[in-house]
Amino acid sequence: MVWYVAVFAFYIVFLIWANLKSLKAAESIDDFAIGGHRLGLLMSIGTTTATWVSVASVIGIPGYLYSTGVATIIGWVAGWAFGGALLPLVAYKVRRPKVPARTFPEFVRFRFEPFKKKSSLQALVGILMFIGYLLLVNIQVTGFGIVFSTITGIKYEFAIFGFLLFILLTSLGGFWSVAATDTLNTLLITIGVILAAGVVLVLTGGMTNILDTLATTTAPTIVGGPELEKGILLSPVGSFGLGALFSIFISNSLGTPSSPHWVARMVAPKNIKIAILQIMGTIFLLIFIMGPLIIVGLGAKVLIPSLPVGKTTDYIVPLLIQEYMHPFIGAVILIAICAAAISTANSMLLHCATSLYYDVYLNISSKKVSDKGFRNWLRLSIFGIAIVAVLLAIKPPWFIAMGFTYVYGGFGAAFFLVVFFGLYWKRMNKAGAYTGILVGSVVYIIAKAMEATNPFVVAVTASLIGVLIAVFTTKKPPIEAYEPYFNAEVSKSTEELYAKIRD
């Protein structure tokens, strides 16, 4: 316990220091919401990596590797990487305007309803974002609570309220605070997972032993459960089946580049090239995080052939730490998990609060607000939403990694066409955007409820048909709507419009 307290105390001191420093950097609304569109490459890579690696990665991925084997690498690890690989296509366009949007809903407004004083489209997207990110923050809280309470013995309910302090500490300074703490969190996550993989390799006798065991084991995932088919853990499609694995891959990948927080992240760097290179750097850095996590998840099957009754696969990492690791190493890995949860939760919390306050409230009320007023109200929103997310986590609703897939799939279904058609097709208009969002989200929910094999594909197909009908039966969009995303220099009317919006 002493080790845990000492390592955690050091971590908290750093968070406070980083937050206080960042408070000075965030002065304007742009600074607070999106880092003033002036993030450099190193900090961009740091914050992108830390946001990418969530609890779903650090706990959920080893859990799925443990129960379903290497198919997880295709469904999740490669799925997320493919989605990330498509992000530069968004960055290449969305970062073009001289006046970039501050938030994802504002981008949708600029692109489809630039002349409206109160944009119902911006509000609609803001509300959908609020719901999605509230669930995602909740998943991070739940994941952290499970790990922390299992390892330290502290009650789950106390652990999640402790987590509340961490995310508030890193969110209240706005985007700069999130980015600064994320960069350190990336380092901590990398060290933690490499250390964990090292211990697992030593304990299991190396990768050859792990693969030999996986090839022959039939031990059930949970004691008393059905025995596994021999060799299934090394099968590329595992127990999912090709259709289900494809569905997971598609949801994880295509949902990513159209997820609001990733689109917003693409406007934070100084320019397009840095936005593109940040993804390249992140995908490279992820080798040193995902690689060790793969070793941990697969090696766990050798060390703990079956989980005790009453535990889900989300508990595999905590159990490994508890049973096999020295308390100091355990504390470092716990910090890594904590860092993964914080860095994703704080970013999503910021987006969640911004969408509610900026995109819904300020947009609909048309109120003018000072920079200071904006910061204070946004902090209050962050505070309120964080409390709600923690209260919802008292009774956790679902498996962690799967929860991520549901929300990402939903975002993808609602926003995929809006983002990519909006950025690459001049003819895409307001009617198309409304249709795409509404049809995509409603069909996704219905397809999920009816347990369709690939709800994402069903929803995007339905959305595509709806969008094409809507676009070709309504008027072309005004030049002011698409010009900034296609041309380096814009017409006078577009320049005046943007100046008026920001005034």
Partner 1 sequence: MFIAMMFWVGVMVFSVVLNTFLCYKVEKSGVKRWGATGRIFKYK
* Residue 266: CB minimum distance to partner 1, A: 12
Q: Decide if residue 279 touches partner 1 (CB under 8 A).
A: yes
List of residues 6+ apart from 484 with CB closer than 8 A: 96, 97, 98, 99, 110, 490, 494, 498
The site string for partner 1 over 96-135 (x = CB under 8 A, - otherwise) reads x-x-------------------------------------
At 436 the three-state DSSP class reads: helix
Distances, alpha carbon 443 to alpha carbons 152, 216, 430, 434, in Å? 43, 42, 20, 14
In the numeric block, which tokens belong to residue 118? 């109160």
Q: Which of 276, 293, 392, 437 binds partner 1 (CB under 8 A)?
A: 276
| Cα–chain center distance at 1 | 31
DSSP structural state of residue 39: B
The site string for partner 1 over 195-214 (x = CB under 8 A, - otherwise) reads ----------------x---
Dist. CA 155–CA 151, nearest whole Å: 10
- From the list 143-151, 161-169, 277-285, 376-384, the region that binds partner 1 by CB under 8 A is 277-285
- From the list 9-17, 71-79, 127-135, 413-421, the region that binds partner 1 by CB under 8 A is 71-79
- Give me the residue label for tokens 């090394």: 234
What's the first-to-final CA gap in the chain, in angstroms?
A: 55
User: Position 22: which residue type?
Assistant: S
**Nearer Cβ to partner 1 (295/447):** 295
Binding residue count for partner 1, defined by CB under 8 A: 36
The site string for partner 1 over 285-304 (x = CB under 8 A, - otherwise) reads --x--x--------------
Dist. CA 85–CA 488, nearest whole Å: 24
- From the list 146-154, 164-172, 283-291, 441-449, the region that binds partner 1 by CB under 8 A is 283-291
Q: Decide if residue 84 touches partner 1 (CB under 8 A).
A: yes
**Nearer Cβ to partner 1 (187/234):** 234
Distances, alpha carbon 129 to alpha carbons 135, 176, 259, 352, 485, in Å? 10, 21, 9, 7, 23
Q: Decide if residue 88 touches partner 1 (CB under 8 A).
A: yes
Dist. CA 503–CA 499, nearest whole Å: 6
> Looking only at residues 26 through 65 of this chain, which bind partner 1 when binding is defined by CB under 8 A?
41
User: Using CB under 8 A as the criterion, which residues of the chain lie in contact with partner 1 when the complex forms?
Assistant: 41, 70-71, 73-74, 77-78, 81-82, 84-86, 88-89, 91-92, 95-96, 98, 211, 234, 236, 270-274, 276-277, 279-280, 283-284, 287, 290, 488
